[in-house]
Structure 1
Amino acid sequence: MRPRRRMKMIRLETQYFNLNRILLLAVGLWPYQQSNFTRLQFIFFSTILTTSLIFQCTPFISQKCTPDLVVKVLSSASIFAFIVIMYNTFCVNIEAMKNLLEQLQHTYNEVKDKNELAIINAYGYNAKQCTAVFTISGICSLSVLIVAEFWSRILDIISPMNVSQLHSLPIIMEYFIDQEKYFYWILLHFNVSLCIGITALIGIGTTIIAYFQHMCGIIRISSYRIKRTVQINTLKNDKLKNEILMQGIISTVEIHRQAIKLSELLISTNEKMFFCLITVGVVSLSLNLFRIFQIASYGDDIMEILFPFISVAVTILAMFIANYVTQDLTDINDDLFVTVYNIQWYKTPLHIQKLILFLLQKGTKKFTISVGGLFIGSLECFAMLVKASVSYFTVIYSMQ
């Protein structure tokens, strides 16, 4: 008799979160490997990010505060504020995130069916693919920004000009020192903060996206289990059929309950962070749209448009992805109850019908991902946020 093949145990860290782990380790935020060194690493990186944000706001002290200066300063500072909030609050919640990943690992340890493992692999692959795409996009964006900073010097080497050019940063910053003399040290500080910020933004963002993707996979497993229980009706042995039906319904309810619990726990743990990010994101989008309009209208140096353009692209993409993954989770949860409704539950024994009725009753209350009771994750919410940002941009434009 051929021995039964043993199912390979799922390891989240190595199979599905390996690239996320590398990104978060680089900025000292991987939940599973917190040591004195990583704590010092976080303090060092947080200091660099925070001081970069502070030096972007100090022009309000050294220069006359005008509407044009306010727009120039806040358009760049808002995107750095977005990163600083995300970086620091994720560190504060790092133990909670570790607990969430451990609970997800525990849920996957209970999965033995090969079809259920295939569902997990499909959603895990989607998450890994998403992380890889965003990582490559981040590297490309960072490379473009750094090349743009040295573009005038590159052109000067290729085609030398007699007129000496003053050094300038891509955004307004005030260090209260001779910025011409210490320009390359200032540029190094800015670029290091940019590298840390982009790495943190991608690492944290893709980890949350991956987590939601796995929640979608767990709910898909619930749908698969409820469909599989229907097939048990073909059995002739009524006692065996009832027993398997009961186990199938109970396991469906249990794994679905776990998915909803973990999704709500993720939101409640990071609710303050999400609320702040939404607010800062709308402000950033409005100001950078206006900054792009200013540069395009008044014929300023076209290279100045690069930073606000990338900021707008990053903000819109972050809003869209966040709302898309939560909308996807809501839709998959709705599909589960459509599946439950469509099965031939009326042919099952009475005590099984009561369990199925319990599932149907849960389906009457729509499951949504809500932040502060004000923002419900959906494509409709994405459209609302973009519309609000454009409205604020219009108000700023009418006031100039």
Structure 2
Amino acid sequence: MICLETQHFNLNRTLLLAIGLWPYQKSKLVRLQIILFFGILISFVTVQFTALITKKCTVNFIIKVFSTMIFFSVYVIMYNMFWINSHRVRNLLEQLQYICNELKDENEFNIIKKCGNNTKFCTLTCTVFAICSTFLVILQPIWPEILGIVLDINKSRIQSQAIHITTEYFVDQKKYFYLILLHINTVICIGATTLTATGTMLLGCAIHACGLFKIASYRMEQIMKIKMLKNVNLKDRTMIYNKKIFYAVQIHRKTIKFCEFLSSTFKGSFFLLVIITVISLSLNIYGIFQSISLGDKEEFLLHLLLASIILLYMFVVNYVGQEITNHNNYVYFTAYNSRWYNAPLQAQKLILFVLLKGSRTYYLNIGGMIVASLECFATLIKTSMSYFTVIYSMEDYLPIYVKLGSL
């Protein structure tokens, strides 16, 4: 028997525990931790929004603020998504554990164990990448102090390198520079952990769903490989065929149900994330071109980093959705290519049911509006580029609109 929590999702469990989002054992201290972390994330989005109220708003300034504010809103949505759906995340893991408890032979256990190894590898890779990226971002403004003996850089230079994100704290930012820097670094650490923990948890569930589809295909292949049935009477042959087909259909249906529960659990949050990531990608691409034209290297690196993270996240989500579709289609192809005509008549009818069911391609739905696939990824990129093109082409006219709106 495989315990998914301790054997396959142990690293995911550690990451979620670090930010208080593990759906089990919710103590008062954990609830306080959740409120504190969520408040820190909300506060950082708020101080970016207040900059629009207190400072003079030009078109470039508005786009600059929104390009970062919308990106950090993703942290808030992802954190809130797992917070309010903690009971559903627990049900998701329990469903997966229940299905794995019904595995039949060693080959099926090996398939699901391989999924667990892939989950741990992907989680470890994403965690190492997140730690390295966060470490470099946090150390970037204090490198001049660390290397002050070698690099003759004064404090004002350090401060100019540190804060690239427009904020308004209603205090003297030079005087409280290190407190503001602490707030920003805390948000980056919590946000990076949130994206890694929640993203890898969903990725792990999707990897296991692909493994369950593999098991359904494996069971379908084994139906027509039973040689000892030649010496068995027709009634017993029919019972054995029906039983094995039932096991194959059963795990396939449970896997479909698991995938549907996964997508429906976060339906509203996925819908917001799709909209926000498309808008954020468009604004950050515009920011990249704008910073190139102005020769601002720091702004260029900031927008490039944010756009790269969004692109990577969008690609992984849609690639996983495409893999789920491909593995589901393989169940249909396995049933279609098997020697179903050698089976008893009643068993042939059951296989025909599988063929009819599998003739309709299954897609992982995201937010109730799109399906996760590589085609969807291309569509989202195309949409983001279209919005960027509109903004860039209207660059000369936008200041006029802003002036007319302020009259």
> By the TM > 0.5 criterion, same fold?
yes
User: Structure 2 residue aligned with 1:85, among 67, 74, 77?
Assistant: 77
> 1 CA distance for matches of 2:384 and 2:352?
44
Structure 2 counterpart of 1:103: 95
User: Structure 2 residue aligned with 1:365, among 360, 364, 387?
Assistant: 360
Could you give the per-residue CA deviations for residues 66-87 of structure 1, whole angstroms, max 9, x where no partner exists? 1011111111111100110111
Structure 1 counterpart of 2:193: 199
> 1 CA distance for matches of 2:222 and 2:28?
49
Structure 1 counterpart of 2:267: 271
Structure 2 counterpart of 1:43: 35
> 2 CA distance for matches of 1:333 and 1:166?
54
User: Structure 2 residue aligned with 1:347, among 342, 347, 354?
Assistant: 342
Structure 1 counterpart of 2:293: 297
User: Structure 1 residue aligned with 2:279, among 276, 283, 293?
Assistant: 283
Contact 1:232 1:245 in 2 (8 A): no
**SS of the counterpart of 2:225?**
helix
> 2 CA distance for matches of 1:10 and 1:137?
29
User: Structure 2 residue aligned with 1:315, among 306, 310, 334?
Assistant: 310
Contact 2:335 2:351 in 1 (8 A): yes
Structure 2 counterpart of 1:382: 377
**SS of the counterpart of 2:159?**
coil
Structure 2 counterpart of 1:19: 11
Structure 2 counterpart of 1:3: none
Structure 2 counterpart of 1:131: 123
Could you give the per-residue CA deviations for residues 298-330 of structure 1, whole angstroms, max 9, x where no partner exists? 112x23333222211110011000000111000
> 2 CA distance for matches of 1:70 and 1:339?
55
Bigger mean CA deviation after superposition, 42-51 or 158-167: 158-167
Q: What is the Cα deviation at residue 198 of structure 1?
A: 0.4
Mark the runs of 5 or more structure 1 residues left unpaired by the alignment: 1-8
Contact 1:120 1:217 in 2 (8 A): yes
> 2 CA distance for matches of 1:259 and 1:161?
59
Contact 1:232 1:241 in 2 (8 A): no
Matching residue's letter, 2:142: F
1:38-77 to 2 correspondences below 5 Å: 38-77=30-69
Q: What is the Cα deviation at residue 357 of structure 1?
A: 1.1
**SS of the counterpart of 1:250?**
helix
> 2 CA distance for matches of 1:155 and 1:277?
40
Structure 2 counterpart of 1:34: 26
1:222 corresponds to 2:216: yes
> 2 CA distance for matches of 1:199 and 1:165?
29
Give the superposed CA RMSD. Answer: 1.6
**SS of the counterpart of 2:275?**
helix
Contact 1:167 1:183 in 2 (8 A): yes
Aligned-residue sequence identity (percent) comes to 47
> 2 CA distance for matches of 1:205 and 1:395?
31
**SS of the counterpart of 2:247?**
helix
Bigger mean CA deviation after superposition, 316-325 or 154-163: 154-163
**SS of the counterpart of 1:142?**
helix
Structure 2 counterpart of 1:335: 330
> 2 CA distance for matches of 1:88 and 1:376?
23
Could you give the per-residue CA deviations for residues 9-62 of structure 1, whole angstroms, max 9, x where no partner exists? 101011110111011000000112322111111100000000011111111111
